[in-house]
Structure 1
């Protein structure tokens, strides 16, 4: 009878431990004990702690880029930006350990991952940044958004998104919808040109 894979359990447990202890303080022993496996079996699923981190970070970047692909290309720039913001707020409001780990650990990837892994992640992060900054620039040129330093504003938007998993704990559909509406309105109010209308 084939052995049932525990890979998903390992990944979820590692994300929880990375979030609780921080990546640097977490160990494969901690993960193995928490998931109920011996360390040899754990290494069957992941060859190293950094392999788990790289997979977690990679998937978060890819899923964020995938959100951008869901935004209608036919809408006006400010409408596309608003939709992208709403999709991202909705996602980070899921209170995911993996998302929290992403925001905590992405500043330290040069320390914790190989040069090749860092280069790969940076390229995909640049793709996301280009999408967001492109929408901000396009909206400003169209007169829908105010003139701004698009790089600074893009980082500010990320800052808003990054902190949501730290404080949002209510998982009801009503609470999530309220957070999506409030934060999307807050972000858009900061970039819309005065007089354009409701964000």
Structure 2
């Protein structure tokens, strides 16, 4: 009988170590030691440290693009933006190590990943940013949103989302729902026309 794969454990442990140490300081040895594998076995799961980083980033990009797909095509800009924000807050409240790594390491992907992989991550980020900016611009056009600097609002929202996994640990489903509601209201309160 084949031994069960420990890939999920390796993935989660690598996320935790990269979160704690940063990508540059984390080593395949430290990941292997933490999982209780020899380095050769670790290479069976991931051929390199950059392969781990690419998967960590790709999983989050894919999850974010799926969230965009859940935003209704119809409705006001306010309704659609509120849904996008709520979906994102709910997501970042649940994937702590992976999301900290995502936001922490994203600025350095051109140095840490092969060119084609970095380009793939950039394409996903660009798709998310284009969608969100178009939604913000639509709200400004209809008068639902105040006149605003779309880039400044986008990156402020990203900043809020990026910090949630650093401090929030849901104790109950109600606590998570409360966070989603409060942060969504906070963000929307800053953009909706009074």
Q: Residues 142-170 of structure 1, C-alpha deviation per residue, up to 9 Å, x if partnerless?
A: 11111111111101100010010111123
CA distance in structure 2 between the partners assigned to 1:57 and 1:175 by the alignment: 27
Tell me if the contact between 2:93 and 2:176 (Cα under 8 Å) persists in the aligned partners: yes
Give the equivalent residue in structure 1 for 2:30.
30
4+ residue stretches of structure 1 with deviation over 2 A?
A: none
1:126 — aligned with what? 126
TM-score by length of 1: 0.94
Cα RMSD (Å) of the superposition?
1.0
* Contact 1:85-1:184 within 8 A present in 2 as well: yes
1:13 deviation in Å? 0.7
Which TM-score applies when normalising by structure 2? 0.97
Q: Distance in 1 between matches of 2:63 and 2:169?
A: 22
Deviation at 1:5? 1.2
The 5 A counterparts of 1:57-72 are 57-72=57-72
- State how far apart, in whole Å, the 1-side matches of 2:84 and 2:50 are: 30
Deviation, structure 1 residue 28: 0.4
Match of 2:7 in 1: 7
Secondary structure in structure 2 of the residue aligned to 1:56:
helix
Q: Which runs of 5+ in 1 are unaligned?
A: 195-199
Matched, 1:76 2:76: yes
1:166-177 superposed matches below 5 A: 166-177=166-177
Is the 1:89–1:180 contact (alpha carbons within 8 Å) kept by the matching residues of 2? yes
Matched residue count: 194
Contact preservation (8 Å) 1:94, 1:171? no
Q: What's the CA shift for 1:3?
A: 2.7
Note if 1:113 corresponds to 2:81: no
Alignment of 1:101 with 2:101, yes or no, is yes
Report which stretch shifted further, 68-77 or 183-192: 68-77
